[in-house]
Amino acid sequence: MEQISPTRMTLLQKRNQKKLAEKGADLLKKKRDALVAEFFELVAGTVTARERLTQVAKEAYLALFLAKAFDGPEAVEALSLGVAPVEGVEAEVENVWGTKVPRLKVAWPDRAAASPIATGGQTLAAQRAFREFAEALVEVANTETRLRMIGEEIKKTTRRVNALEQVVIPGLEAQVRYIRMVLEQREREDNFRLKKIKSKMEARSEAR
């Protein structure tokens, strides 16, 4: 136990520290519970986003295969050269119970790709399929990043709760008990001395 001054002032300070630590632990547990609820809600969304990504990826590569088979690799390559670039990517930061979670926002081009040669229907279908694939990929990145960061915050919050409940609060309780024990012992000793003084004074009074 650290060296502490066993005084009434110190006792009051340690009691106040214990109350603050208990209040802090309660607030952290509420935060952790809210994060856990958010985490489990996200799990379903993350699974759905991953399943959609898998499905649209299959559809995109199948569409690419059909485009090359029916329209020819030259038509596919010509159209790919005319694909408009992404107009912008922003990372918005959302505050989830004190946890800053980024979310990508992509400004997809409105116009379709332009080709210097005639474009067949299968190639255009492949272009649309890969646009959906890209959108699904961004959505998976957003949901899985959110899930991972909230999971890490749950671990961090749990460690803080455990530190308060298993180390800080018991330590303060032990200090309070120690100070009370010392103060009670001093009080007993003071009472004993007072009784002896009173007894001596009464004995002197009777001797007169």
Q: What is the pLDDT of residues 159-179, one digit of tens each?
A: 999 999 999 999 999 999 999
pLDDT at 24 exceeding the cut of 90: yes
Total count of domains within the chain:
1
Give dist(CA 180, CA 186) in Å, integer.
10
pLDDT at 91 exceeding the cut of 90: no
**Higher local confidence (pLDDT), 164 or 98:** 164
In a domain, 171, yes or no: yes
In a domain, 58, yes or no: yes
Rounded mean pLDDT, 103-111: 75
How many CA within 13 A on the CB side of residue 131? 18
Q: In Å, how far from its chain's centre is CA 167?
A: 22
Is the Cα dihedral 111, 112, 115, 119 positive or negative?
negative
- State the pLDDT at residue 106: 82
pLDDT at 37 exceeding the cut of 70: yes
pLDDT, tens only, 111-142: 655 554 556 778 888 888 888 898 899 999 99
pLDDT at 83 exceeding the cut of 70: no
pLDDT at 183 exceeding the cut of 50: yes
CATH code for the domain of 23: 1.10.287.3240
In a domain, 102, yes or no: yes
- State the pLDDT at residue 116: 45
Is the Cα dihedral 54, 56, 59, 63 positive or negative?
negative
The span from the first CA to the last CA of the chain, in angstroms, equals 53
Is the Cα dihedral 135, 136, 139, 144 positive or negative?
negative
In a domain, 204, yes or no: no
Mean pLDDT, rounded, of the chain: 84
Give dist(CA 187, CA 193) in Å, integer.
10
DSSP 110: S
In a domain, 207, yes or no: no
Q: Per-residue b/e over 88-102, b at no fewer than 16 CB within 10 Å?
A: eeeeeeeebbebebe
pTM of the model: 0.72
Under 8 Å between Cβ of 63 and 126: yes
pLDDT at 33 exceeding the cut of 90: yes
In a domain, 107, yes or no: yes
In a domain, 172, yes or no: yes
Rounded mean pLDDT, 51-60: 93
In a domain, 43, yes or no: yes
Which residues constitute the domain of residue 137? 8-199
What is the three-class DSSP state of 57?
Answer: helix
- State the pLDDT at residue 26: 96
**Higher local confidence (pLDDT), 201 or 125:** 125
- State the pLDDT at residue 118: 54
Nearest 5°: phi and psi at 33?
Answer: -65, -40
- In this prediction, what percent of the chain has a pLDDT beyond 90? 41
